[in-house]
Amino acid sequence: MAGKTLYDKLWDDHLVKQRDDGSALIYIDRQLLHEVTSPQAFEGLRLAGRKPWRIDANLATPDHNVPTTDRDKGIDGIVDPVSRTQVETLDKNCDEFGILEFKIKDQRQGIVHVIGPEQGATLPGMSIVCGDSHTSTHGAFGCLAHGIGTSEVEHVLATQCLVQKKMKNMLVKVNGKLGPGVTGKDVVLAIIGKIGTAGGTGYAIEFGGEAIRGLSMEGRMTICNMSIEAGARVGMVAVDDTTIDYVKGRPFSPKGETWDKAVAYWRTLHSDDDAEFDKVVELDGSAIQPQVSWGTSPEMVVGVDGNVPDPEQEDDPIKREGIVRALKYMGLAPNQKITDIKLDRVFIGSCTNSRIEDLREAAAVVKGRKVAASLKQAMVVPGSGLVKAQAEQEGLDKVFVEAGLEWRDPGCSMCLAMNADKLGQGEHCASTSNRNFEGRQGFGGRTHLVSPAMAAAAAVTGHFVDVRDLLN
Amino acid sequence: MRAFTQHKGIVAPMDRSNVDTDMIIPKQFLKSIKRTGFGPNLFDELRYLDEGKPDQDCSQRPINPDFMLNQERYKSSSILLARRNFGCGSSREHAPWALDDFGFRVVIAPSYADIFYNNCFKNGLLPIVLEEEIVDQLFRETEAESGYELSVDLEAKTVTTPSGQSFSFEVDDFRRHCLLNGLDDIGVTLEDADTIRAYEDARRSSAPWLFNAGN
């Protein structure tokens, strides 16, 4: 019999009951909650007269609607009354049910997918859910992490279980070493470019290979975060020393004998040598260039030295139509050079790229340089209050401000523009976020997905440029 | 949950692939703390020419005459015909809520994103997968004939055209069962409360670090 994949092991460890109809009950160790996808779930509990199954499995924070300025004003700083109501509703629900919440003025507040790992609330081997598709981020710790809808948020609150059908196993193996200036973001964009936005649908993806093993936890989180952009609800990386070193000493992490026992278990969280995958995709990591998305789907991506595609060269009529529509929306011409795309704004932040390492990479590029005069705005939004404090301790905030970038308070911000940070119609933005969908960053806005280093390089030149040219 | 057994309705063609949930319901409408009222903002950026805002009277907004839902023949449609990878992107359940609130009961596409697909079943909305060639045929027939209707039978797992041509589709047994009977799946899961508790107790002793509430 073949060995088990990491996903098989995580599935087996969380299986409460296999039902006759093919569905299964999976136990959930941790649920992260935020203000957008939880109010209707709490309301559902109340209407049915149900209580949360296990209160201490939940951790909440407001992130999508929070402003990134004037944080000292707290909730009063939220100008939009509808946004304010949503944040107040989360506070009320957490208070009523006794759920731990890092409220808007708490230094531990931040984007859910940043604070979970930062607090050690995300531990290897856990099953984690959140009403947010980027919950796959936590798979970087060898977790089984699913993004879920609001009905499932309610289901997990009420039962501590998720009804699931086992997915298929996919291995994405990135061989070789990444070149200098090439990051986890470039790797995941290259993967999505190769397998497509639906390439991982129905699969749990494990990312492996030398290039993945060589990445920090921040880089691995960036990759797992965007699994959903390849269609996979679940993305994972096996546990190794990098994982265990990251987890050690965090507020929720085990200590003493429990730590030793946990580590012994965590060391088993990798696919067995003889495990069989339903699908294997291989990439040469050393050949990956810094990536830039040109279209309105994350699969519409190319190396920075490349060109915008020509729809005439596409054989598949549905894809051709998609390219034509994307070029029209993006205001780009076929065969245009990526480095000729002029930018209006730069956004460094989001659950994909707002951790300390991301900020360090961006700061290293802008240090001693100035934001191009042609830009309307370049902003840096740290992923949490603690990331912000750490960056300030390292002096990164000064580097950004001296270069002319805005240094903001933590939240989801312009990744989805639910707060006041957004693009104007027709504006091009170099963004370290995860989605370049039409209107995602603001009505009529045009998003180009890049790494923090590439966004920083674009900020100081006003157009896309190969960051490696600036680093030399 | 509302049960789904059979449905016959007018088909609306959403002729583009990779329709994401931002397109189905843009983020500014996610600020609502209710489950209802999203229908007027379904496909907001395609349907109207201006930028939509929450709590707006949509009947006063400039509409995009080219968008199919603004054409008289599709205004009372209840079956959405779509292309590959429908519902990709965000996990927002506001997407099926908006489709439902508009009046859609069925979506037909060659493929869906996983989270959207799953969210539909929680809301009495049936997402049907048919092969691309069949979907192509349905697009042609929908566009050729005003008032084109399909009949969907979840018990029999069939989609039938006006000419009587019938196509079978697959759906997981447990999802079909819940939808046919309009079951509250939290109630179904809680029937196994003792099993969940036994699992939890065993884990509490074998992996105590999973039950650390932090400090």
- Per-residue model confidence as pLDDT tens digits over B52-98: 999 899 999 999 999 999 999 999 999 999 999 999 999 999 999 99
More confident residue, B213 or A50: A50
Distance from CA of B120 to the nearest CA of A (A): 10
Interface contact B32-A82, CB threshold 8 A = yes
- Residue A472 — pLDDT band, cuts 50, 70, 90? confident
- Chain A environment of B215 (Cβ under 8 Å): 251-252
Amino acid at residue number A349: G
Please give the torsion angle defined by the CA atoms of residues B38, B44, B47 and B49, in that order, rounded to the nearest 10 degrees. 140
Residue A143 marked in a binding site: no
Q: Say which of B93, B111, B173 has its CB closest to residue A149.
A: B93
- Chain A environment of B213 (Cβ under 8 Å): 56, 100, 252
Average pLDDT over residues A23-52: 97
Please check the confidence at residue A469 and state whether its pLDDT lies above 90.
Answer: yes
Interface contact B113-A201, CB threshold 8 A = yes
Best mutation target among B209, B211, B212 (most A Cβ atoms within 10 Å) is B209
Interface contact A435-B30, CB threshold 8 A = no
Please check the confidence at residue A423 and state whether its pLDDT lies above 70.
Answer: yes
Tell me the per-residue pLDDT of A68-101, one tens digit each, with 9 for 90 and over. Answer: 999 999 999 999 999 999 999 999 999 999 999 9
Distance of CA A253 to the CA centre of its chain: 22
For chain A, the average pLDDT equals 97
Which pLDDT score, from 0 to 100, does residue A53 have? Answer: 98
- Residue A456 — pLDDT band, cuts 50, 70, 90? very high
Residue A224 marked in a binding site: no
Which pLDDT score, from 0 to 100, does residue B213 have? Answer: 63
- Measured distance CA(B204)–CA(B210) in Å, rounded: 7
Please check the confidence at residue A245 and state whether its pLDDT lies above 90.
Answer: yes
What chain A holds in terms of domains, given with CATH numbers, is: 1-289 (3.30.499.10), 291-471 (3.30.499.10)
Residue A429 marked in a binding site: no
Residues 45-84 in B contacting A (C-alpha not used; CB under 8 Å) = 45, 51, 54-55, 83-84
Q: Say which of B17, B31, B199 has its CB closest to residue A83.
A: B31
Residues 6 or more apart in contact with residue B210 via CB below 8 angstroms: A29, A123, A126, B203, B204
- Chain B environment of A86 (Cβ under 8 Å): 31, 33
For residue B150, the cross-strand partners are: B9
Instruction: State whether residue B173 sits within 8 Å of chain A by CB.
Output: yes
Tell me the per-residue pLDDT of B114-146, one tens digit each, with 9 for 90 and over. Answer: 999 999 999 999 999 999 999 999 999 999 999
Q: Chain A: residue nearest B198 by CA?
A: A16
Rg of chain B (C-alpha set): 20
Q: Which two tokens stand for residue A416?
A: 């989805």
Please check the confidence at residue A20 and state whether its pLDDT lies above 60.
Answer: yes
Please check the confidence at residue A429 and state whether its pLDDT lies above 70.
Answer: yes
- Measured distance CA(A58)–CA(B134) in Å, rounded: 45
Average pLDDT over residues A355-379: 98
Starting at the earlier edge strand, list the strands of the sheet with B126-129. B126-129, B106-109, B79-81, B6-13, B149-153, B158-160, B166-168
Average pLDDT over residues A318-341: 97
CB A43 within 8 A of CB A154: no
What chain B holds in terms of domains, given with CATH numbers, is: 6-183 (3.20.19.10)
- Measured distance CA(A258)–CA(A450) in Å, rounded: 40
- Residue A471 — pLDDT band, cuts 50, 70, 90? confident
Best mutation target among B15, B91, B93, B194 (most A Cβ atoms within 10 Å) is B91
Pairing of strands B149-153, B6-13: antiparallel
Please check the confidence at residue B48 and state whether its pLDDT lies above 90.
Answer: yes
Q: Say which of A82, A231, A416 has its CB closest to residue B113.
A: A231
Please check the confidence at residue A374 and state whether its pLDDT lies above 80.
Answer: yes
Please check the confidence at residue B214 and state whether its pLDDT lies above 80.
Answer: no
Residues 6 or more apart in contact with residue B155 via CB below 8 angstroms: B5, B6, B180
Helices A356-366 and A396-403 cross at an angle (nearest 10°) of: 40
Which pLDDT score, from 0 to 100, does residue B1 have? Answer: 86
Interface contact B84-A318, CB threshold 8 A = yes
For chain B, the average pLDDT equals 96
Which pLDDT score, from 0 to 100, does residue A145 have? Answer: 98
Average pLDDT over residues A307-322: 94
- What is the CB-side half-sphere exposure of residue B77 using CA atoms within 13 A? 25
Cβ–Cβ pairs < 8 A, chains A and B? 203
Of A339, A335, A325, nearest to A437 by C-alpha is A325
Q: Report which secondary-structure segment, H or E, holds B94.
A: helix B94-102
Please check the confidence at residue A234 and state whether its pLDDT lies above 90.
Answer: yes
Region for residue A15 given its phi and psi (left: phi exceeds 0; alpha: psi -120 to 50; beta: otherwise): beta
Please check the confidence at residue B215 and state whether its pLDDT lies above 60.
Answer: no
Average pLDDT over residues A232-241: 98
Q: Chain B: residue nearest A147 by CA?
A: B91
Q: How much of chain A, in percent, has pLDDT values that exceed 70?
A: 100
